[in-house]
Structure 1
Amino acid sequence: MKNIVNANASSATPIELTDKAGAPEPAIIVPPYWLDACKHLVKKDRVMKRLIPQFGSTCLQSRGDAFSTLARSIVGQQISVKAAQTVWHRFAALPAEMTPAHVLRLKIDDMRAAGLSARKVEYLVDLSIHFDAGRVHVQDWQAMDDETIIAELIAIRGIGRWTAEMFLMFYLTRPNVLPLDDVGLINGISHNYFSGESVSRSDAREVAAAWAPYCSVATWYIWRSLDPKIVPGA
């Protein structure tokens, strides 16, 4: 188990928890809405009432910075998790720092040698240009609504709506994202609500009506119900 900090607390102090060996683990910063969301979902949805208690103190966590988070999502497209980790570590070792300016100084041949396809090199360069030129308003994102941020992100080559939604969930920790293009979410709804029968986007929206305004949290638990160890974007 990991130490937990409630981001709502006026003085956030990690709860003293340890791993199996007795060593302390890094604190988890709980999104400020998480506990309220769980209470809401347990009250409103029969499946959430069953799922949420199964996963204890685990929660959605924000990692890294905006640029590296998006760069990593591009690197990992259409390859296995293991392959993505290998290529990312090779690519991340190339620049002096993982910043747009440093990535733009890299040689294309070196990026290709790290395992990146020509298309992904193009995507990473375009991402770097958008950030370096200030075409994305990182400092303003906290005050912007989800759809406006998505519109900014999908203007970058290699970033589609699903990637943008994962970014909203796992970097900005937005509470009410419903990624209907996510296969895991659709499969999880099928498994938990329809006894394995085929589920349409319309069916998924109908189920998720009870989740609002905490669709991100419900989606997290749906993913966990399929595989407790693997969650998209985590």
Structure 2
Amino acid sequence: MPQQFTKANYHTLCDELAALDADFAWVIEQYSYPPFWSRPNTFESLVHIILEQQVSLASALSALNKLRERVGEITPAKVLPLTDAEMRECYCSRQKTAYIKYLAEAIIAGQINLAAFEQMEDADIRSQLTALKGIGNWTVDVYVMFALQHTDVLPIGDLAIVNAIKLLKSLPKDTPREELIAIGETWKPYRTIASMLLWHFYLQSRKPKSKG
């Protein structure tokens, strides 16, 4: 089973990376440790990640909250009966409505078992989930990192991660993806923790400077 990070070892793993890469030591020194980002291993969490595909986190959360208002706890059995019009009222596009329903059907049919994923390797989880329409590598990466808390995932399809690496490492904007992946290799087996540090750095560095 892949290694997991927990609240108990999170800061220790951040410190290990800081010892390995001085840029991460600087991030921690400047901005402290990243938040402990995690989500429960549920259908609702996967729906949330699908809603986050290619939109702002705020608009994804408002769609999730609208769905919650309509059905309460978001489960496959509660989402499947909703019409496209009802899903649209919850800010779900036609495309994302289809993706969410494919996932709900797969779970009800027993094709996907989220609890079983807790004992599985990343590659096996990835092959099962990406077989479903609308679930690509980015969605799997975020699910494995946040819901299963595996320590060694680098979501190279995430624009904020890509921009954070370039910014932190003072790389040109046209740095090829292969070079960024090679840099990521140096953070093994804690690429998830590196990603948390990169997201934290990216979010903090974009905040307006306070005057005074």
Q: Taking structure 2 as the reference length, what is the TM-score of the superposition?
A: 0.85
Per the alignment, residue 138 of structure 1 pairs with: 114
* Pairing of 1:184-223 with structure 2 (within 5 A): 184-223=160-199
Per-residue CA distance 1:13-68 (angstroms, 9 max, x = gap):
xxxxxxxxxxxxxxxx61x5423422321221121121123343543332234200
Q: In 2, are the aligned partners of 1:168 and 1:174 still within 8 Å (CA)?
A: yes
Q: In 2, are the aligned partners of 1:74 and 1:124 still within 8 Å (CA)?
A: yes
Per the alignment, residue 152 of structure 1 pairs with: 128
Moved over 4 A (4+): none
Q: 1:74, 1:49 → 2: CA distance?
A: 33
Q: 1:41, 1:144 → 2: CA distance?
A: 25
Q: CA deviation at 1:214?
A: 0.3
Q: 1:106, 1:63 → 2: CA distance?
A: 25
* Pairing of 1:31-180 with structure 2 (within 5 A): 32-180=8-156
Change in CA separation of 1:205 and 1:81 when aligned onto 2, cut-off 3 Å: closer
Q: Taking structure 1 as the reference length, what is the TM-score of the superposition?
A: 0.77
Q: 1:154, 1:73 → 2: CA distance?
A: 14
Higher RCO, Cα 8 Å, sep 6+:
2
Q: 1:131, 1:187 → 2: CA distance?
A: 35
- Comparing 193-202 and 151-160, the one that deviates more: 193-202
Q: 1:84, 1:208 → 2: CA distance?
A: 28
Change in CA separation of 1:146 and 1:65 when aligned onto 2, cut-off 3 Å: closer
Q: CA deviation at 1:125?
A: 1.0
Q: In 1, are the aligned partners of 2:34 and 2:196 still within 8 Å (CA)?
A: no
> Residue type of the partner of 2:113?
H
Q: Where does the alignment leave 5 or more consecutive residues of structure 1 unmatched? A: 1-6, 9-28
- Comparing 180-189 and 48-57, the one that deviates more: 48-57
Q: Where does the alignment leave 5 or more consecutive residues of structure 2 unmatched? A: 207-212
- Comparing 101-110 and 175-184, the one that deviates more: 101-110
Per the alignment, residue 209 of structure 2 pairs with: none
Task: Give percent identity, aligned residues only.
Answer: 27
Q: 1:169, 1:216 → 2: CA distance?
A: 6
- Comparing 91-100 and 144-153, the one that deviates more: 91-100
Q: In 2, are the aligned partners of 1:190 and 1:198 still within 8 Å (CA)?
A: no
